[in-house]
Chains A and B, each alone.
Chain A
């Protein structure tokens, strides 16, 4: 499997259970790795729990959480997209559950999923400016009135 080492900048990962695996891959390999995760008999990840992203400034970390009902193990798959080039392959052809999850990430983070059949905003209005879960999107009423 194409696993690359996470750079020092990344958040350290605590092990949740012994059956939990955590791998980081380069984004070009995402689709081939995902296909293998879904189809290989000893992996058999049939349940896609969620897809989300975390903004780290220069890059976004995309997180895919899988579970295998058959083998009773879970997997966190991480990959990075640079903020300058927010394009990545879509996984809708493998898991239908990825459809709305990817639309949500596109809506709130602006990541474009190549090959998604219906990529448009899902929670916000079509004409909403910007992508609100990015760290550079400020909350206007964000002043702290209490404490400090």
Chain B
């Protein structure tokens, strides 16, 4: 009808909706099925990790930091330990560096695979692909339990090294796990990459590199726009300069490009782990650290490439045995901001897919 006007309606998505990957709450404004405006509301999982850490000793903040990004806890520990080590001038034992890299890459694999499973879940392929990734994650959790004693929150890194040495046969278990995961990855791709998947993901939520940088996007989202940047290669931390791996980029900047980048990165992580297992030296696993630890006055910012992007810790010490200020620069929080701009004029079903594509872990967003 010419001249007819429609009203927009407001729709609350979440905070308990399964497609929001936790407790995200999105206030959406719809015109028919078209999203006119969407505003994420955060804070349902805010546990005040930064404030808690200010009132604990340095090592007591470790388990709290673990609980930030609960899919890849080892990466959070790694970056926090690196910040304290830099501030206090602690050297890390050689063997521990290798163990840290193996653990970090294992968690990166599971982070990407669970993301891929839940993205497909959001697109409407209920449960089977997600269960494929969760089944593989189960095997990884067994490995983590074997080495650290805990499944979800290993609390395994220590200042100057790691907590425990590798149990007998663990490295072989890791290699076996990678072999199985490599086969399962082929299965997963055969299952998921269909014509329907192409239609739902190609050309959706296109981003240019310039926009992505201005939004503060990092990690796979930035690489999917064709920007060749990976902190592991370009600002090597730990011992990443010793390994041979590729940085994956795609040109399109849409959902399909993000998917391709993440899946290809899993294969690169296999490569890194195989090299690390081959080269791992014998020796002590942890250097001696003064107790209680009192780093010199000062501050530092350390960042690493997590599975989601730039994960950083800004740490201020006033010379006492507790951190004066601990700021976590979490990739999920910074990347989620882009949703507001990306979803405009897409359909409601695409909103769910776009939120899924960003790879948010609400523990990482709210801290």
Our pick among A11, A96, A132 for the contact of B48 (Cβ within 8 Å) is A132
Residues of A within 8 A of B327 (CB): 50, 52
Surface stretch bound by A, among B14-22, B133-141, B181-189, B212-220: B212-220
Cα–Cα, bound, A76→B124 (Å)? 44
Q: Report the bound CA distance from A133 to B48 in whole Å.
A: 9
Contact residues in A for B229 (Cβ distance below 8 Å): 69
- Looking across the interface, which residue of chain A has its beta carbon closest to that of B229? A69
Interface size on B, residues (CB 8 A): 41
Most B-side CB within 10 Å, residue of A50, A65, A69, A100: A50
* Cβ proximity bits A85-113 to B, threshold 8 Å, 1 near / 0 not: 00000000001110111001000100000
Choose among B299, B312, B336 the residue that contacts A11 (Cβ–Cβ < 8 A). B299
Which residues of the other chain, B, contact A96 by a CB distance below 8 angstroms? 214-216, 337, 341
Instruction: Give the distance in Å from the alpha carbon of A54 to the alpha carbon of B213 in the complex.
Output: 26
Q: Nearest chain-A residue to B43 (Cβ)? A: A123
Residue of B55, B234, B299, B336 near A139 (CB, 8 A) is B55
The reply to whether A124 and B46 form a contact with Cβ atoms under 8 Å apart is yes
What residues of B have a CB within 8 angstroms of the CB of A14 in the complex?
87, 298-300
Contact with B along A28-52 (1 / 0, CB 8 A): 0000000000000000001111101
- B325 pairs with A124, CB closer than 8 A: no
Contact status B214-A95, CB under 8 Å: yes
A122 pairs with B337, CB closer than 8 A: no
State which of B227, B325, B329, B366 has its C-beta within 8 Å of the C-beta of A123.
Answer: B366
Asked if B50 is an interface residue, CB under 8 A from chain A, the answer is yes
Q: How far is the CA of A139 from the CA of B49 in the complex (A)?
A: 12
Query: Could you give, for residues 126-150 of chain B, a 1 whenever the CB lies within 8 Å of some chain A CB and a 0 otherwise?
Result: 0000000000000000000000000
A18 contacts partner chain B, Cβ-Cβ < 8 Å: no
Q: How close is B209's CB to chain A, nearest CB, in angstroms?
A: 9
Q: How far is the CA of A122 from the CA of B229 in the complex (A)?
A: 30
Taken together as a complex, chains A and B put the C-alpha atoms of A49 and B298 apart, in Å, by 20
Known interface pairs A12-B297, A139-B51; A97-B314 also in contact (CB < 8 Å)? no
B305 at the interface (CB under 8 A from A): no
Tell me whether A49 and B329 are in contact in the complex, defined as CB-CB below 8 angstroms, given that A76-B301, A96-B216, A97-B337 are known contacts: yes
Q: Which residue of A lies closest to B57 (CB)?
A: A147
The verdict on A11 contacting B316 (CB below 8 Å), with A47-B216, A65-B301, A142-B55 known, is yes
Asked if A100 contacts B314 (CB within 8 A), the reply is no
Given A13-B299, A16-B301, does the pair A50, B329 have CB atoms closer than 8 Å? yes
B107 to chain A, nearest CB (A): 22
Q: Is there an interface contact between B299 and A49, defined as CB atoms closer than 8 Å?
A: no
Cβ-closest chain A residue relative to B330: A50
Counting contact residues on chain A (CB < 8 A from B), the size range is: 35 or more
Q: How far is the CB of A117 from chain B (nearest CB, A)?
A: 11
* Interface assignment of A6: CB less than 8 Å from any CB of chain B: no
Of residues A16, A46, A96, A139, which shows the largest number of chain B Cβ atoms within 10 Å of its Cβ? A96
Residues of A contacting B227 in the complex (Cβ-Cβ under 8 angstroms)? 69
CA distance A54 to B316 in the complex (A): 8
In the assembled complex, A1 has its CB within 8 A of some CB on chain B: no
Q: Which of A49, A108, A132 contacts B312 (CB 8 A)?
A: A49
Q: B318 on the interface (CB 8 Å rule)?
A: yes
Q: Does B303 sit within 8 A of A, measured CB to CB?
A: yes
A100 partner, pick from B234, B324, B337, beta carbons under 8 A: B337
- Give the residues from 303 to 324 in chain B that come closer than 8 angstroms, CB to CB, to chain A: 303, 310, 312, 314, 316-318, 324
B210 to A, closest residue via Cβ? A46
What sequence of 0s and 1s flags, for each residue 57-70 of chain B, a beta carbon within 8 Å of any chain A beta carbon? 10000000000000
A50 with B314: CB separation less than 8 A? yes
A84 to chain B, nearest CB (A): 21
* Min distance, Cβ A85 to any Cβ of chain B, angstroms: 21
Chain B residues, CB < 8 A from A125 = 43
Q: How far is the CB of A110 from chain B (nearest CB, A)?
A: 14
* B42, B50, B86, B329: the one within 8 Å of A122 (CB): B42
Asked if B245 is at the interface (CB within 8 A of a chain A CB), the reply is no
* A49 cross-chain contacts in B, Cβ below 8 A: 216, 301, 303, 310, 312, 329
The 9 closest A-B pairs by CB, nearest first: A97-B216, A123-B43, A50-B329, A52-B327, A54-B325, A123-B46, A100-B337, A14-B298, A46-B213
Q: Given known contacts A96-B215, A133-B50, what 6 new A-B pairs fall within 8 Å (CB)?
A: A12-B297, A50-B314, A65-B329, A101-B216, A123-B367, A125-B43
A-B contact pairs, 30 of them (CB 8 A): A14-B87, A14-B298, A14-B300, A46-B213, A47-B216, A49-B303, A49-B329, A50-B314, A54-B324, A54-B325, A63-B314, A65-B312, A76-B301, A95-B214, A96-B215, A96-B337, A97-B214, A97-B216, A97-B334, A97-B337, A99-B337, A100-B333, A100-B334, A100-B336, A101-B216, A123-B42, A123-B46, A123-B367, A124-B43, A139-B52
